[in-house]
Amino acid sequence: MRRTIRASPAPGMTAAAEVAQRAGLTGEITILSGYRTPETNYAVHGAGDSQHLRAGAVDVMVAPDRIAAFGEQALRLGRGGVGIYGSRGFVHVDSGPVRRWGDVPAELQSLPIAAGGPRRRLDLTFDPVSRLAEAWAKTRIR
Ligand SMILES: [Zn+2]
């Protein structure tokens, strides 16, 4: 009998991949930042309780002409935090509480925070396999 064991992706990666799919982004996605050690998070002036510290967040580089669509899909997904950094060309997506910041378009400011029905709680318990996978995949995922 054969068994297939799969490493589950880090929750931030899962959220980013789902948003990318909904936004119609195909091909490679460039991840600017995924899991951060406390030292790295401090060096980049990350929030003290950043989801990046739990492998729960990714910053996805998005082309200028796609960033609005990507940000909108992330916000509509309503499954975690979304920070849109238009001038810096990336969108932060995480699996923490639903919230939004940055360059959120006016028409999306009023999206209900708890939209989307029952929220899937992602398991943030320490998983060395997914941490390792994220470390290896920190520059690009397919
Ligand atoms: Zn981030």
User: Is position 89 within any domain?
Assistant: yes
- pLDDT beyond 50 at 128: no
Distance 84 CA to ligand 1 centre (A): 10
Which structural domain range is residue 60 located in? 11-141
User: Is position 4 within any domain?
Assistant: no
* CATH number of the domain that residue 72 is part of: 3.30.1380
User: Is position 48 within any domain?
Assistant: yes
User: Is position 6 within any domain?
Assistant: no
Q: Which two tokens stand for residue 65?
A: 């002409």
Cα separation, 40 vs 58, whole angstroms: 14
* Number of independent structural domains in the chain: 1
DSSP 89-139: TEEEEESSSSEEEES--GGGTTS-TT-SSSPPPP--S--HHHHHHHHHTSS
Q: Report the pLDDT value the prediction gives residue 8, as an integer from 0 to 100.
A: 62
Give residue-wise pLDDT tens across range 116-126: 444 444 444 44
User: Is position 128 within any domain?
Assistant: yes
Q: What is the mean pLDDT of residues 99-107?
A: 86
What stretches of 23-115 show up as alpha helix (H) in DSSP? 38-43, 67-77
Cα separation, 95 vs 83, whole angstroms: 12
pTM (two decimals): 0.70
User: Is position 75 within any domain?
Assistant: yes
Distance 9 CA to ligand 1 centre (A): 17
Distance 86 CA to ligand 1 centre (A): 13
User: Is position 5 within any domain?
Assistant: no
